[in-house]
Amino acid sequence: MNTLVRRLRTLPLRSRLALLVSVAVAVAVAAVAVTCWFITRNQLYAQMDQELHNQVGSLSQGRQVTAVLACGGINQQQDVPGPTIQRVSSDGTVCTWRGKSSIPAQPSDVAVANGSADDALHTTEAEDGTSMRVLTVPVEIEHSRVANLAVSIASPVDEISQPLTTLAWVLLAVGGIGVVGATAAGLWIARTGLRPVDKLTETVEHVAATEDLTVRIPVEGDDEIARLSASFNSMTASLASSRELQQQLIADAGHELRTPLTSMRTNIELLTRSEATGRAIPPDDRKALMASVKAQMTELAALIGDLQELSRSGLSGTEGPLKVVSFHETARSALERARLRGPELKIVSELAPWYVRAEPAALERAIINLLDNAVKFSPPGGTIEVHLMRGALTVRDHGPGIPADELPHVFDRFWRSPTARALPGSGLGLSIVARTVESYGGEVALAAADGGGTVATMRLPGAPTPPPDQPAELLS
């Protein structure tokens, strides 16, 4: 059985479908044919048995019983067509009144003759080997039963077996034609039904060979094949989009890395040329060159760090398993770090309790990026206002603000406002914020603040109290 299953699995799908259809039709045809044959057989036997009973009645009404009982001599009618009729004695002897061959008496026939049974119906063989259906009944004359005698009436079973044999051959021929037709229909159905699968296979092979993700499969109807085609189209579209994003990321990263590297190479070449020619650079200029190199190295380190954070977060925007985190305590910790980065700024905060499900380090980094953005654009001695109320964290600065036409791009990778090109930064901070917040089911936005400046809003779903199984003191 296992070997058969393994061999079936090696066949092409359309061959397996055709084979299954053929087997199913063959089983159905065989079941119908066998049922039809047995029903016909039972009806023919019932009809023969009824005919034998009718002939017994005709024999009694025709006053032929006396002739049968006086069987022998000139009374015998062996050459007369019709059923075989014979007398049966209680000792088992028989006398054939009509028929070509005698039929040996069976015990059930003898039982009818000696009065211990009312009738007997059975199938047996005559002396010439002919199979006979025999009905034996007691003999009655003038409503009195004749002792020790019975009458048997029999018909050849060939009258039934020959039509049944013919019927069996007809059913076999019809069934064979049906199976052959079903096999052809199965092949046609498999070929027609699997044509979309063939197209899908060809498309997948084409994509695998050429890496062309622009190929699409026409979607027709709403069946499983159509759903599979639509899913494949959606998958290739997602892969194409992912490839474009990767290519864009590489291009943007290369562009952002080129500027500090070029500047750093120029400064280092100036220092190297000064050492090679013996022409000393003035101390102030040398100090400025070294400061520029240090700043460019810091910018490179920040850019590489942001790229690493972005790659570690992947598509989900998270690095580790999520757990219940105290949003207000995480914001308070980020505020302390922001105060160190902008000691000349005034940061005021009002943080209401709120608990969210997030990865603590990623959440704190997102908040710090928002605060760094506010610190970067705040004027010296300016004020940054931070509020957390019912899961909405707002960071408002009093800087120059962002033009309305630039707001849709603030969360794009490597995007920086033309007015902020001279400021430090990689252009990835807000992109990391957006990815992190969206992965937690939240949203983030930047907008112009009333009276000038910019307000950043981060919303995260959560609750003002921690779950019962996680006390608040363990979440800070």
Q: Which of 27-31, 147-151, 244-248 is the least confident region?
A: 244-248
In a domain, 117, yes or no: yes
Decide if pLDDT at 89 tops 50: yes
Please report the pLDDT score of residue 74 as a whole number: 47
Reduce the DSSP state of residue 122 to 3 states and report it: strand
In a domain, 450, yes or no: yes
Work out how many domains the chain is built from and give that number: 3
Please report the pLDDT score of residue 316 as a whole number: 42
In a domain, 94, yes or no: yes
Identify the domain boundary among 106, 135, 158: 158
Let me know whether 305 and 327 are in one domain. Answer: no
Let me know whether 241 and 325 are in one domain. Answer: no
CATH of the domain at 124: 3.30.450
Mean pLDDT on 416-424: 53
- C-alpha atoms less than 13 angstroms from C-alpha of 112 in its C-beta half-sphere: 21
In a domain, 21, yes or no: no
Decide if pLDDT at 255 tops 70: no
Q: Tell me: the pLDDT tens digits for 1-12? A: 556 556 656 666
Q: Tell me: the pLDDT tens digits for 368-409? A: 888 888 888 888 888 889 999 998 999 998 888 777 777 777
Let me know whether 153 and 295 are in one domain. Answer: no
For residue 446, what are the domain limits?
Answer: 314-474
Average pLDDT along the chain: 78
Neighbours of 428 (CB within 10 A): 26
Q: Which of 30-34, 403-407, 421-425 has the highest mean pLDDT?
A: 30-34
Please report the pLDDT score of residue 392 as a whole number: 92
Decide if pLDDT at 63 tops 80: no
Q: Which of 55-59, 97-101, 296-300, 413-417 has the highest mean pLDDT?
A: 97-101
> What is the DSSP annotation of 220-287?
-SSSHHHHHHHHHHHHHHHHHHHHHHHHHHHHHHHHHHHHHHHHHHHHHHHHHHHHHH--PPPHHHHH
In a domain, 165, yes or no: no
Of 328, 309, 339, 336, the closest CA to residue 464 belongs to: 328
Let me know whether 146 and 113 are in one domain. Answer: yes
Q: Which residue did the predictor score with more confidence, 406 or 419?
A: 406
Please report the pLDDT score of residue 306 as a whole number: 64
Please report the pLDDT score of residue 476 as a whole number: 45
Identify the domain boundary among 158, 176, 209: 158
Let me know whether 321 and 470 are in one domain. Answer: yes
Please report the pLDDT score of residue 387 as a whole number: 92
Of 97, 70, 75, the closest CA to residue 86 belongs to: 97
> Can you tell me the distance from the alpha carbon of 242 to that of 276, in angstroms, rounded to the nearest whole number?
49
Interior CA angle at 44 toward 81 and 172, to 5°?
Answer: 115
Please report the pLDDT score of residue 453 as a whole number: 85
Let me know whether 77 and 88 are in one domain. Answer: yes
Any bridge partners for residue 384, and if so which? 347
Contact 443, 424 (CB under 8 A): no
Let me know whether 347 and 432 are in one domain. Answer: yes
Identify the domain boundary among 284, 311, 338: 311
CATH of the domain at 395: 3.30.565.10
Let me know whether 277 and 346 are in one domain. Answer: no
Q: Which of 69-73, 108-112, 137-141, 371-375 is the least confident region?
A: 69-73
Residues with Cβ < 8 Å from 157, sequence gap 6 or more?
A: 123, 131, 132, 133
Let me know whether 338 and 278 are in one domain. Answer: no
> Can you tell me the distance from the alpha carbon of 132 to that of 334, in angstroms, rounded to the nearest whole number?
107
Let me know whether 353 and 447 are in one domain. Answer: yes
Of 25, 19, 18, 22, the closest CA to residue 192 belongs to: 18
Confidence of residue 57 (pLDDT cuts 50, 70, 90): confident
Mean pLDDT on 229-239: 82
Let me know whether 153 and 280 are in one domain. Answer: no
CATH of the domain at 247: 1.10.287.130
Residues with Cβ < 8 Å from 438, sequence gap 6 or more?
A: 317, 444
Contact 429, 376 (CB under 8 A): no
Decide if pLDDT at 351 tops 50: yes
Decide if pLDDT at 317 tops 60: no
Of 310, 429, 443, 327, the closest CA to residue 370 belongs to: 429
In a domain, 22, yes or no: no
In a domain, 409, yes or no: yes
In a domain, 216, yes or no: no
Percent of the chain topping pLDDT 70: 79
Q: Which of 260-264, 294-298, 463-467 has the highest mean pLDDT?
A: 463-467
Let me know whether 279 and 373 are in one domain. Answer: no
Mean pLDDT on 150-171: 87
